[in-house]
Amino acid sequence: MIIKNTKGFSMVELMVTVAMIALLMGGAIAGFGILSGRSVKDAADKMESLLNSHKTVAMGKIDSYGLLYTDTDGATYFEEYIVDFDKDETSDPVFVRRELVAKKEVITRYRLTNSGESYTNLGTRDNPLYISFDRSTGGFKDLRRMNAGYENVYLDTIEFKRGNTVRQIRLSYLTGKIIR
């Protein structure tokens, strides 16, 4: 009588199990990559929407500007202000809204037209990036409101980054168009 050893697993069963584990791990890693890039995509989409909305306000009869900054919680915010010069040339800006652009895990940087390829991390509320449109041309105004030395210097790119995922919003300062 031949006694067959039926304990343990066959080679085929082990190979199938390892293949199934590899497939599950590959799906989990791909899913994590998609999820981590989602916050970057959302931030770029939100910023593009805010810029378009801000341009619409600026093209009206009221002068406006926006502030883009990183708050103490590490998140990126956009604040919009309007100034009605038709009422009074010395009018104080009126706060319109504050919108969350990017959560704290997303790094927000920008590049200016005079900075070559170098990017600057976004400043705090005390040192924000000023964004405003010229009502007569629709293009961006220069950044002299941000720094007196920035006359004829314009915002070129806003970049959102988390891990290896990067989204850039390129800006045409002459026309105010957003190039993705």
pLDDT on residue 41: 93
- This prediction has a pTM of 0.76
Q: Stretch 88-117: mean pLDDT, rounded? A: 86
pLDDT of 12 > 90? The answer is no
Task: Give me the DSSP letters along 20-37.
Answer: HHHHHHHHHHHHHHHHHH
Domain boundaries, the chain: 12-179
Backbone φ and ψ of 98, nearest 5°: -130, 125
The average confidence (pLDDT) of the chain is 85
Element (H, E) at 121: strand 120-121
Is 163 a residue whose pLDDT tops 90? Answer: no
